[in-house]
Amino acid sequence: MEASNGLRDFEETSNDDIKSFFDSSPPLKNAAEIKRKTEEFVQMNSDSEHPRRIVLVTSGGTTVPLEQRCVRYIDNFSSGHRGSTSAEYFLKAGYAVVFLYREGTYQPFCTSLPNNPLLECLQVTDKSNITARPPYEKTVKEAISNSHAATSCGTLLKLPFTTIFEYLQNLQLIASSMSSLGSRALFYLAAAVSDFYVPWESMAVHKIQSSSGPLDMRLVQVPKMLLVLRRDWAPKAFCISFKLETDKEILLKKARTALEKYNMDMVVANELLTRKEEVIVVTKGGNVVVQRDRTRVGADVEEPLIELIVEQHSAAISSAS
Ligand code: 9Z3
């Protein structure tokens, strides 16, 4: 959700706006548990002689509830494909990954499974055993073993969100748990975050009644959390945000403005229709076009993208030390 002319995008967000957003949000149900899990995860991946770099990958879209006892909500198209595929490449590159994902969207190592994997990929044999059915044997085996390996060896922590309130509270909690990591931390913010929302206190409590006539509702701007993320929560981390547009003409201009305004290390600019083919990485040193290798079947744009990011993150760590 974004203003069509994009002008309000870069309006100032004050500390009061941020405070009032968090103060008025319905509290996260399991905040203490999320904090404990993230701190343990950070600790575990920092203990050894060669501590791992840790990346927070956000993935999928946030919802905007219209009622407190929510029956209806505004949603976002994001499938979570970018985030989950990227998480896989970060794991392969040796990073520990906190995967903050929208409930029900793609998961790392499962992007090539069909929609209903349980029913489509499995079968019950004559002896009542459950096995993978052709042609999914290899895909299922890899999905299960890679995913279990990453979670059981403690390099993948998955945390779900649904609403804009849950997403931003999780982001703050996770960022504060990662604050001790300095330049070893990477933020890769691929989630599609609502620009507008209905503040909790002005939201209808019960289901909005159609008998009341046409719906007249005021959405207000979500405070720009990238500002506080960079300034207060993660000043030394390597921060990458995404810019999505449907109008190619304004994409790069807005990505560069975001880079400067929020002091990001990179902004990954993508256009809705070509997002799986190409992205443009906007940095202070210039723009880099990253494309998937079209000569290789199944090649994705995330592979060269994460390669470039790991390289730049390494350079940033070296110059910080
Ligand atoms: C992206 O631009 C992601 O690349 C996509 C990935 C959401 C397009 P899919 O999940 O798609 O693979 O289907 N994410 C960020 C989008 C966003 O909300 N950006 C905000 C903006 O453009 C800044 S936080 O203003």
pLDDT at 4: 41
pLDDT (tens digit per residue) in 74-125: 999 999 999 999 999 999 999 999 999 999 999 999 999 998 999 999 999 9
How far is the centre of ligand 1, averaged over its atoms, from the C-alpha of 315 (Å)? 26
pLDDT (tens digit per residue) in 136-165: 999 999 999 999 999 999 999 999 999 999
pLDDT band at 6 (very low <50, low <70, confident <90, very high): very low
How far is the centre of ligand 1, averaged over its atoms, from the C-alpha of 180 (Å)? 28
Cβ of 242 closer than 6 Å to ligand 1, yes or no, is: yes
The answer to whether residue 10 scores a pLDDT higher than 60 is: no
pLDDT (tens digit per residue) in 227-263: 999 999 999 999 999 999 999 899 999 999 999 999 9
pLDDT at 3: 42
182 class by beta-carbon count within 10 Å (0-12 exposed, 13-18 middle, 19+ buried) = middle
How far is the centre of ligand 1, averaged over its atoms, from the C-alpha of 112 (Å)? 20
Instruction: Quote the percentage of the chain above a pLDDT of 70.
Output: 97
6 vs 95 pLDDT, higher one: 95
How would CATH label the architecture of 7-320? Answer: 3-Layer(aba) Sandwich (3.40)
pLDDT at 5: 41
265: nearest Cα among 253, 283, 244, 280: 283
- Cβ–Cβ < 8 Å for 120, 136: yes
Which alpha helices (H) appear in 229-301, and where do they start and end?
248-261
Cβ of 281 closer than 6 Å to ligand 1, yes or no, is: no
Cβ of 78 closer than 6 Å to ligand 1, yes or no, is: yes
Cβ of 96 closer than 6 Å to ligand 1, yes or no, is: no
Mean pLDDT of the chain: 94
pLDDT at 212: 86
Cβ of 188 closer than 6 Å to ligand 1, yes or no, is: no
How far is the centre of ligand 1, averaged over its atoms, from the C-alpha of 214 (Å)? 31
pLDDT at 11: 55
> Rg (Cα) of the chain, in Å, rounded?
21
How far is the centre of ligand 1, averaged over its atoms, from the C-alpha of 190 (Å)? 5
**How far out from the chain centre does Cα 210 lie?**
35
